[in-house]
Amino acid sequence: MTKDVLGYRKKFGVIAPSTNTIVEPDFNDMRVPGVTSHTSRIWIRNQDLSSDEAFEALLEEIRVEIEFAVRRVLTAEPDYMVMGMSAETFWGGMEGNREFIRQINQWSDLGVATGAEACERALQLFGAKRIGVVTPYQPVGDENVIKFFNEIGFDVVNIKGLRCPSAVSIAHVSEDELRRALIEVNGPDVDAIVQAGTNLSMVGLADEAERWLGKPVIAINAATWWFALRENGIEDKIFGKGRLLREF
């Protein structure tokens, strides 16, 4: 088979909401030679996230649009799929995540990296059991995150939902706000901290926070990219993006 000139090792098809301005540059910053990512956008018509009801309505919109985004990126002939969104990958707990993966497999006939499964694998590697979580979500989103982690055997000790009012506003959360959130969910009984929400800019801060907190801080974009690389036999180490990409 003819190899892509730039993606001669692997081409990743990335699915992201049209409102997301963080995940694409994050993935580009973690690029390794011979691996390229190609983003297809899920059209978000109404980006209101100001209540539980609005949050669920947005996810319903995503479920209608996501198949179209998958089919569009397939025209680039990717080798593997990467989900540049996280809420839907936690929704419905463990079975919801597995069903989501099955659905993407069915549409694309390709393997797929999801943020939820990447966090699961990372926590297992770190040997963590009790976790703190930071999200941009409303309470209903946090409930599904807790459900997922509980069902796969982790105890969510503390969770901080930032309750961002719109999909775009998630990317406006400052490093200072995120730092305060990390400190809030941390504690002596917390083995690791997980950050959900691919439109939160956390990769660089998580790398720093691991040093001053003395424990793993898993930024979901770094975890998802790490999972995608390792599932495809790409073992390159990346520095400045957290322990996962540097050590595992």
What is the distance between the alpha carbons of residues 240 and 52, in angstroms, rounded to a whole number?
A: 35
- Together in a domain, 20 and 90: yes
Say which residues have a Cβ less than 8 Å from residue 8's Cβ, sequence separation at least 6. Answer: 34
Listed residue (161, 218, 156, 167) closest to 47, CA to CA? 167
- Together in a domain, 167 and 44: no
Q: Which domain holds residue 51?
A: 10-114+224-234
SS3 141: helix
What is the distance between the alpha carbons of residues 164 and 137, in angstroms, rounded to a whole number?
A: 6
Q: 1 lies in a domain?
A: no
Is the pLDDT confidence value at 1 over 60?
Answer: no
- 197: domain CATH number is 3.40.50.12500
pLDDT per residue as tens digits for the range 46-77: 999 999 999 999 899 999 999 999 999 999 99
Beta bridge mates, 195: 134, 219
Per residue, what are the HEC states of 75-99?
CCCCCEEEECCCHHHHCCHHHHHHH
Q: 244 lies in a domain?
A: no
Is the pLDDT confidence value at 2 over 70?
Answer: no
* Chain mean position to CA 197: 6
- Together in a domain, 86 and 204: no
SS3 231: helix
- Together in a domain, 124 and 79: no
Q: In terms of pLDDT, which residue wins out, 3 or 122?
A: 122
Q: 241 lies in a domain?
A: no
Residue 139 identity (one-letter amino acid): P
Specify the pLDDT at position 115. 97
Q: 23 lies in a domain?
A: yes
pLDDT per residue as tens digits for the range 210-245: 999 999 999 999 999 999 999 999 999 999 999 999
State the number of CA atoms in the 13 A half-sphere of 208 facing the CB. 10
Q: What percent of the chain has pLDDT over 90?
A: 96
Helix axes 220-231, 115-126, angle to 10 degrees: 90
Q: 102 lies in a domain?
A: yes
Q: Residue 5: pLDDT band by 50, 70, 90 thresholds?
A: very high
- Together in a domain, 151 and 109: no
- Together in a domain, 73 and 23: yes
pLDDT per residue as tens digits for the range 147-161: 999 999 999 999 999
What is the chain's mean pLDDT, rounded? Answer: 96
Q: Which helix (H) or strand (E) holds 156?
A: strand 155-161
Dmax (CA) for the chain in angstroms is 53
Burial annotation 58-82 (CB, 10 A radius, 16+ → b, else e):
beebbeebbbebbeebbeeebebbb
Split into its structural domains, the chain has a count of 2
Q: 32 lies in a domain?
A: yes
Do the beta carbons of residue 178 and residue 200 sit within 8 Å? yes
- Indicate the Cα dihedral angle 93, 94, 96, 100, nearest 10°: 130
- Together in a domain, 47 and 80: yes
pLDDT per residue as tens digits for the range 70-97: 999 999 999 999 999 999 999 999 999 9
**pTM of the full predicted structure?**
0.96
- Together in a domain, 139 and 212: yes
